[in-house]
Structures are given as structure tokens and as C-alpha cells.
């Protein structure tokens, strides 16, 4: 990946930051994209101090015009795009009956439309280079997660879009990969939206027992190098992918029971 130009969205924390750094330390030129200007500036300084060739772009992938600007600014800096890692995303934690519809809309706008918009504008360059488009999905894109209806819907939609794009480009040399981490230690649960759209502010899970963002980044990097179709990173994910199709009711019950055990679970009102 030396001298390849890589765009990573949501690149100032968690999986995105670790992925951008991993590509950068392996010689790629990296565009660091995130909404918060201070976080972009801080990440840029850190990466530059490590010798990474990078630029910072402040943008919200939920806005079509920002996604076009992400690609334009990357091309202005480096002349092309070889790899797009669609990582930016938000989660939620609320029963659908309680959630304001704007919460579901926001998740779809960022997680799904953000992928569609950025891919649309980057695609001509990536096609020319026979490069890679990556979608960072989730086990939530393999099985519906209760109290995460908007999140699962957005990840299912992302995967359907990318799988269709892959098939459409069978003869062009485009590489499309869907990466499905399990629960990963990151900021996404702290910023997950509650029923009224406010961030929940803390994680309901033991972050220290989860896969590290750096481990996920290594999977993503190697998946791009090997041009894999899908990367499922945990045993749970592999079991969900295979057995949920054979024993759907059993898996639904197991998933419900697991999520219901979280502290302050929204399921408590249903018991």
C-alpha cells in the first residue's frame, strides 16, 4: 500500500483512527476525515509526528456536499484516490416504539447515505486505479439487533449497496470489501443516540473485554491487501453468519437475552 491514497472517514477515534494510522505507517497517503475540527487537527499533528503523509478534512458524511468536498480536497492534495474506507458511523440504544423517528433518519443519513455519497464521488478515481472501497459494517448488519433498529437497518443497507456494487463491477477490476467487526472498544457506544436523539454518554458494556480498534484495523488493512470480499473478525460473527440462517428463532432469542442483560437495558420495561 506504499504511496496509495487512502480516505478514511470517522478517522479521529476508534476503528477509523486506528485504520488511518495503520495505512499511514505502511506508507500510504491518508486523508483523515471527521466532523470535529479540533479532533481532526489533533489527529493530524499526531500522525505527522509519526512520519505519516496525511491531510485533515473537516466534514460531515451525512451531507452530500461535504462528501463531494472530501474527494475534491483529497484529489487536490494527492491527485487521485486508491482506497476509500467508509467507517464514519453512529449507533443508537432505544426501543423503536420509544425512539423519535429523527434518530432513525440520522443513523441512515450517516451510516448508509454517507457511504453512498462518498463512494459516488470517489468511484471514478478508484475505478481508474482498480482500487478498493471498504464498508465498515457490524455483526448488526448480519442479524437484527434489538434496541438498535436504526443501526442494524443502516448496516444492512450499507452491505446490500456494497454487495450490489461489487457484482456490478465484476469486469472493471474494482475491489469491494465489507468488514464486520464484533463489539470493539471505541467511542461509538458513548455517543450512541438515545430515544430523544441525545447521546447516552457512557457505554453499557465492558470495553476492556472487547476487540481493540488496532486489531480491527489490522484485519481491514490485510483484507484490502488481499482484496477480500468480506472480513468477519470474531467467532460470534462467524456463528451469526452461518447458524442464524439455520436456527433463526434460536438466534433471535439468544441475541435478545444477551442485549437485555446490559445495564439500564431498555428491555426492562417489557419484562
CATH of the domain at 28: 3.40.50.720
> CA geometry: angle at 126 spanning 124 and 131, to 5°?
155
pLDDT of residue 247: 73
Inside any domain, residue 198: no
Number of domains the chain contains: 1
Overall pTM > 0.85: yes
Contact between 231 and 179 under an 8 Å Cβ cutoff? The reply is yes
pLDDT of residue 183: 67
pLDDT of residue 271: 57
Inside any domain, residue 192: no
Q: What is the mean pLDDT of each run of 10 residues along the chain (271 residues)?
A: 97 96 98 97 98 98 98 98 97 93 96 98 98 93 88 96 97 96 64 86 58 92 97 70 71 78 73 57
Inside any domain, residue 68: yes
151 catalytic per annotation: yes
How far is it, in rounded angstroms, from Cα 252 to Cα 247? 9
- Domain of residue 76 covers 5-90+99-186+207-237
Inside any domain, residue 250: no
Inside any domain, residue 243: no
- From the candidates 117, 121, 151, 219, give the one annotated as an active-site residue: 151
pLDDT of residue 265: 78
Inside any domain, residue 126: yes
Inside any domain, residue 33: yes
Give the 3-state secondary structure of residue 152.
helix
Contact between 46 and 72 under an 8 Å Cβ cutoff? The reply is no
CB atoms under 10 Å from CB of 237, counted, come to 21
For 235, counting Cβ atoms within 10 Å of its Cβ (0-12 exposed, 13-18 middle, 19+ buried), the class is exposed
Inside any domain, residue 135: yes
What are the pLDDT digits (tens) for 207-258?
556 688 999 999 999 999 999 999 987 666 566 666 667 777 877 787 778 7
pLDDT of residue 138: 86
pLDDT of residue 243: 65
Amino acid at each position: 500500500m506504499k504511496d496509495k491514497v487512502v480516505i478514511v472517514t470517522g478517522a479521529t477515534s476508534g476503528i477509523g483512527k486506528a485504520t488511518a494510522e495503520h495505512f499511514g505507517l505502511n506508507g500510504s497517503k491518508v486523508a483523515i476525515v471527521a466532523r470535529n475540527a479540533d479532533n481532526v487537527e489533533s489527529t493530524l499533528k499526531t500522525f505527522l509526528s509519526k512520519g505519516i503523509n496525511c491531510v485533515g478534512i473537516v466534514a460531515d458524511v451525512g451531507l452530500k456536499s461535504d462528501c463531494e468536498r472530501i474527494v475534491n480536497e483529497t484529489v487536490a492534495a494527492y491527485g487521485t484516490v486508491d482506497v476509500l474506507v467508509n467507517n464514519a458511523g453512529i449507533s443508537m440504544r432505544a426501543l423503536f416504539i420509544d425512539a423519535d423517528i429523527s434518530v432513525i433518519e440520522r443513523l441512515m443519513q450517516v451510516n448508509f447515505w454517507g457511504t453512498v455519497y462518498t463512494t459516488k464521488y470517489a468511484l471514478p478515481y478508484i475505478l481508474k486505479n482498480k482500487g478498493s472501497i471498504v464498508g465498515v459494517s457490524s455483526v448488526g448488519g448480519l442479524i437484527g439487533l434489538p434496541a438498535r433498529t436504526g443501526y442494524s437497518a443502516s448496516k444492512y443497507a450499507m452491505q446490500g449497496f456494497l454487495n450490489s456494487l461489487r457484482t456490478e463491477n465484476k469486469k472493471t477490476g474494482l475491489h469491494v470489501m465489507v468488514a464486520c467487526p464484533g463489539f470493539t472498544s471505541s467511542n461509538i457506544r458513548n455517543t450512541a443516540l438515545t430515544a430523544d436523539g441525545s447521546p447516552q454518554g457512557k457505554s453499557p458494556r465492558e470495553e476492556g473485554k472487547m476487540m481493540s480498534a488496532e486489531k480491527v484495523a489490522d484485519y481491514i488493512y490485510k483484507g484490502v491487501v488481499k482484496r477480500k470480499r468480506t472480513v468477519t473478525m470474531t467467532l460470534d460473527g462467524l456463528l451469526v453468519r452461518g447458524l442464524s440462517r439455520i436456527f433463526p428463532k434460536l438466534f433471535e432469542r439468544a441475541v435478545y437475552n444477551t442485549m437485555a442483560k446490559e445495564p439500564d437495558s431498555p428491555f426492562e420495561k417489557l419484562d
